[in-house]
Structures are given as structure tokens and as C-alpha cells.
């Protein structure tokens, strides 16, 4: 009998992008199973409330399918309180479910470190406070963040409405404004359609690009020893 890989995914309730991003790329022997955490708005206060009230019950629901891996699918929420706060989220999910768990922040940091980056630029759709908290968490993890910029959006539906072509243009313009000449870009947010813009941004800038959903996808392939679906 063929082994089947069940992947648990914890996402904000208003995230409309991460699931299709992963489903379209997953090999046929893996499946995604989602539990939603209610999120009022994409702000520090909204995400802290989500973590306090929604994380535990959503994780308990996912535990009932006994997934091989659970991904906490919100980059900014995992990074709210530095690397200690990030680790606490993953540990909490593991305690509740008894399953391996990783946050999007951890997956993203792992993917970026593979590039041996010397000057990383961070682009987000977030409000300034969330962008700065993510940048600080990345710096704490040892990533050389030399600049960051955000679109100032505080609503996931507005974030998801930005097209891949618009993301390419926003990212390219922001990087070109950075006088420190970054050698890689990280584009954050699981409900931002940046995975579909990676190749276009790389062509425009000539440097590697990592996105939240791309990092999650690469991590789960490696963790579960899966091959990419062509």
C-alpha cells in the first residue's frame, strides 16, 4: 500500500492564498488539511488575539487527523515576539498535537540561509510595525537584513487582491531604492501571491527571491522526502 503524507496547516481565517499555492504544487502522495484561526485584522493586536484565543483549539482539531507535519502558516504572527516567541508557538502546537510542527518563520529562515546571503532585503504587504517586528526577528536569527519595506495593508483580503505582476513591480521598485544593493529578497506573507511572482522578480532584479509559501513548500518536501510534482 502506498504511503500517504498528511500535512496539517494552521492559517488565519482570512488567508485565501496559502492553500491553493501548496495544493497546486504538491506531489500526488501528499495532502493538505487546514484548520483556521479567526483573525480580525492583520495588525499586531489582531495577530496577538489570534494566537491567544485561536491557536490551541485549531491545533486540537488538526491533531485528530494525525498529520506527519503541522505548519503554522502565518509568518508575521510567528515573528511577533522574536525567536523565543516563534519557538514557543511551534512547541505549543507540538505539545497539543504530538506531531512535528514548524512555523513559517522557521521555514523561511532555513530557506534563506541556504543562499548564504550577505545583504537581505525584506518586502511585506504589512503595516510598518509588523514589518519591523519581522525584520528584527530575522536579524535575531542571524540574517543580514539591510532594509525593509511594506505596503501598509492591514486586511488579508486586500493583501490577497494584489496581483503577482503588481508584487513584481512593488518589490523591484523597493529593492532599487535600497542604496545598499541587496543580494537576495524575502517576500513575506502567506496570503500574498508572491510565490507566483518569484521568477518574474528574479528576472527583473537578477538576485534570488524567497517567499513565505515557497519556503513552506520546500521545507515540507525535504521533511517528508517528497519529490516535486512536475
Q: Are residues 67 and 10 in the same domain?
A: yes
Q: Are residues 116 and 91 in the same domain?
A: no
Provide the phi-psi class of 201: left if phi over 0, else alpha when psi is between -120 and 50, else beta: alpha
Residue 116 or 1, more confident: 116
Q: Are residues 114 and 179 in the same domain?
A: yes
What local confidence, expressed as pLDDT, does residue 228 receive?
Answer: 59
Q: Are residues 113 and 87 in the same domain?
A: no
Q: Are residues 11 and 101 in the same domain?
A: yes
Q: Around 9, how many Cα atoms within 13 Å sit in the side-chain half-sphere?
A: 28
Average pLDDT over residues 192-213: 97
201, part of any domain: yes
pLDDT tens-digit readout, 105-142? 999 999 999 999 999 999 999 999 999 999 999 999 99
228, part of any domain: no
Q: Are residues 168 and 85 in the same domain?
A: no
CA distance 220 to 223: 5
In the β-sheet with 69-72, what is the strand arrangement from edge to edge?
30-37, 5-12, 69-72, 101-103
Under DSSP, the state recorded for 121 is E
153, part of any domain: yes
192, part of any domain: yes
pLDDT tens-digit readout, 146-174? 999 999 999 999 999 999 999 999 999 99
Q: What is the CATH number of the domain that holds 59?
A: 3.40.50.12500
Single pTM value for the model: 0.93
Whole-number mean pLDDT of the chain?
Answer: 94
Average pLDDT over residues 31-43: 96
pLDDT tens-digit readout, 7-26? 999 999 999 999 999 999 98
229, part of any domain: no
Q: Are residues 77 and 139 in the same domain?
A: no
Q: What is the CATH number of the domain that holds 137?
A: 3.40.50.1860
What local confidence, expressed as pLDDT, does residue 95 receive?
Answer: 96
Q: Are residues 112 and 207 in the same domain?
A: yes
Residue 14 structural domain: 5-105+215-223
What local confidence, expressed as pLDDT, does residue 221 receive?
Answer: 87
Amino acid at each position: 500500500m502506498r504511503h500517504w503524507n498528511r500535512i496539517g496547516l494552521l492559517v488565519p481565517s482570512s488567508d485565501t492564498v496559502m492553500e491553493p499555492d501548496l495544493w497546486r504544487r504538491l506531489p500526488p502522495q501528499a495532502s493538505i488539511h487546514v484548520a483556521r484561526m479567526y483573525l480580525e485584522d492583520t495588525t499586531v493586536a489582531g495577530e496577538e488575539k489570534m494566537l491567544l484565543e485561536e491557536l490551541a483549539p485549531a491545533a486540537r482539531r488538526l491533531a485528530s487527523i494525525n498529520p506527519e507535519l503541522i505548519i503554522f502558516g502565518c509568518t508575521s504572527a510567528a515573528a511577533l515576539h522574536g525567536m523565543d516567541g516563534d519557538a514557543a508557538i511551534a512547541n505549543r502546537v507540538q505539545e497539543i498535537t504530538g506531531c512535528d510542527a514548524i512555523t513559517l518563520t522557521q521555514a523561511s529562515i532555513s530557506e534563506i540561509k541556504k543562499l548564504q546571503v550577505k545583504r537581505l532585503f525584506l518586502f511585506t504587504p504589512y503595516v510598518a510595525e509588523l514589518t519591523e517586528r519581522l525584520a528584527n526577528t530575522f536579524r535575531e536569527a542571524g540574517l543580514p537584513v539591510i532594509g525593509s519595506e511594506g505596503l501598509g495593508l492591514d486586511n488579508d483580503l486586500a493583501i490577497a487582491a494584489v496581483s503577482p505582476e503588481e508584487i513584481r513591480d512593488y518589490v523591484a521598485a523597493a529593492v532599487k531604492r535600497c542604496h545598499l544593493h541587496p543580494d537576495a529578497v524575502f517576500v513575506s506573507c502567506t496570503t500574498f501571491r508572491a510565490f507566483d511572482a518569484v521568477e518574474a522578480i528574479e528576472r527583473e532584479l537578477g538576485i534570488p527571491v524567497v517567499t513565505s509559501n515557497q519556503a513552506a513548500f520546500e521545507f515540507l518536501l525535504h521533511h517528508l522526502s517528497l519529490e516535486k510534482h512536475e
